[in-house]
DNA sequence: CAGCATCCCTGAAGATACTG
DNA sequence: CAGTATCTTCAGGGATGCTG
């Protein structure tokens, strides 16, 4: 746990900070996803990174990993109740990014898989 | 600009991501601050890092740098109107961090300089 | 399919010293 | 006071190949 100056912001960062975690979490807001789905939907991530990040999120109690004892193997990941509470943060980030891109970058909006209906996605279970 | 998978979240991250930027921005929510004030209030950051991060934020149009032509030299930093729009994101992060720390880390809340009255701080100028 | 193991590399961040 | 200038370290991340 990294708490350089003891700020609550850093606690959040230590859990969902980094290059990939916010993106992974964002895709999971949609609902549970399989490893390969995440792999495909998040362009550019390596399997190694995806695995590592998912493990860290799992250890922080943010995502839940379910292994189905089948052949071929199937594993899916979903946000835990605690993970759901990150929704406001993630949505705030997305909203800001969209506005910034639109008003300051003059680029088109994010592609469909990112502009997905997250507002109407999974309802918050613990507004904390 | 890093847009690996084109997500709006990444746009936000590219602007306010990293180890120090959120913390710096957080301290600036309070109002304008001098270089040395930030240096002191953010425990553990080096002058070099502080300078670098502030320059990047300045270039992104998030903070404004004001040089006072005096002796001894004085420079202060403040959020621009655009920077103010990050408030919701920052506050959401802090709020989540506080709750997480309280409920899952069983540690005391953040120190005073972080629990500062940011809710009542500078009002949003462009809710975007 | 999901994911480890290995090796490698870059770039973010730190330490320290100096200056207009 | 508010930075620069160097040098160094190291962890985040990439590529590839193998396996239960």
Residues of chain A in contact with residue B19, where contact means CB-CB under 8 angstroms, are 13, 17
Query: Does the structure show a pLDDT above 80 at B99?
Result: yes
> From CA B98, how far away is CA B125, in angstroms rounded?
26
Residues 65-84 of B with CB under 8 A from A: 82
Indicate whether A120 pLDDT > 70.
Answer: no
**8 A C-beta contact, residue A81 and residue A75:** no
Q: Is the pLDDT reported for residue A1 higher than 50? A: no
Q: Taking the model in full, what pTM does it have?
A: 0.82
Maximum mean pLDDT: which of A19-23, A71-75, A76-80, B11-15: A76-80
Chain D: positions less than 7 Å from a protein CB are: 1-6, 12-17, 20
Q: Which range scores top for mean pLDDT: A2-16, B10-24, B94-108, B112-126?
A: B10-24
* Contact in structure between B77 and B63 (CB atoms under 8 Å): yes
Chain B residue numbers touching A7 (CB-CB < 8 A) = 23, 26, 94, 97, 110, 114
Instruction: Please tell me which residue, A81 or B109, carries the higher pLDDT value.
Output: A81
Whether the beta carbon of A48 falls within 7 A of nucleic chain D: the reply is: yes
Q: Among residues of chain A, what percentage have pLDDT more than 70?
A: 77
Instruction: Give me the residues near strand C, CB below 7 A.
Output: A 4, 34-36, 47-48, 51, 54-55, 65, 67, 72-76; B 18-20, 44-49, 73
Pairing of strands B74-79, B33-34: antiparallel
Pairwise CA distance, residues B126 & A7, whole Å: 26
pLDDT value at position B104? Answer: 81
Rounded mean pLDDT, A53-78:
94
**Nearest chain A alpha carbon to B23:** A9
Q: What is the pLDDT of residue B122?
A: 39
Q: Is the CB of B19 under 7 A from strand D?
A: no
What pLDDT digit, counting tens, does each position of B18-47 carry?
A: 889 999 999 999 899 999 999 999 988 999
A4 touches A10 (CB < 8 A) = yes
On whether the CB atoms of residues B128 and A98 are closer than 8 A, the answer is no
Q: Which nucleotide is nearest to B39 (CA to C1')?
A: D2
Rounded Cα distance between B41 and A12, Å, is 19
Chain A hits for B110, Cβ within 8 Å: 6-8
| A36 contacts chain B (CB < 8 A) | no
CA distance B10 to B17: 9
Which of A2, A8, A44 to substitute to test the interface with B, most B CBs within 10 Å? A8
The dihedral region occupied by A106, where left means phi > 0, alpha psi between -120 and 50, and beta the remainder, is left
Task: Report how far residue A7's alpha carbon sits from residue B23's, in angstroms, rounded to the nearest whole number.
Answer: 8
Strand D closer than 7 A to residue B115 Cβ: no
Q: How far is the CA of B54 from the C1' of D3 (A)?
A: 12
Q: Structure tokens of B57?
A: 């934020």
Instruction: Retrieve residue B34's tokens.
Output: 């001098």
pLDDT at B69 over 80: yes
Subunit contact A100:B12, Cβ cutoff 8 A:
yes
Average pLDDT on A39-45 reads: 88
User: From the centroid of its chain, how far is CA B9?
Assistant: 17
Supply the pLDDT for residue A122.
Answer: 37
In chain A, what are the domain boundaries?
A: 10-105
């Amino acid at each position: 746990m990294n708490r350089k100056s003891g700020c609550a912001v850093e606690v959040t960062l230590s859990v969902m900070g980094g290059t990939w975690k916010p993106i992974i979490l964002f895709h999971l807001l949609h609902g549970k996803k399989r490893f390969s789905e995440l792999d495909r939907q998040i362009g550019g991530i390596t399997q190694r990174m995806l695995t590592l990040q998912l493990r860290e999120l799992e250890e922080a109690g943010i995502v839940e990993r379910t292994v189905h004892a089948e052949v071929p193997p199937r594993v899916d990941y979903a946000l835990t109740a605690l993970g759901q509470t990150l929704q406001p943060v993630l949505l705030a980030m997305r909203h800001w990014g969209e506005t910034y891109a639109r008003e300051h970058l003059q680029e088109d909006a994010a592609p469909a898989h990112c502009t997905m209906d997250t507002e109407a996605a999974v309802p918050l279970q613990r507004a904390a």
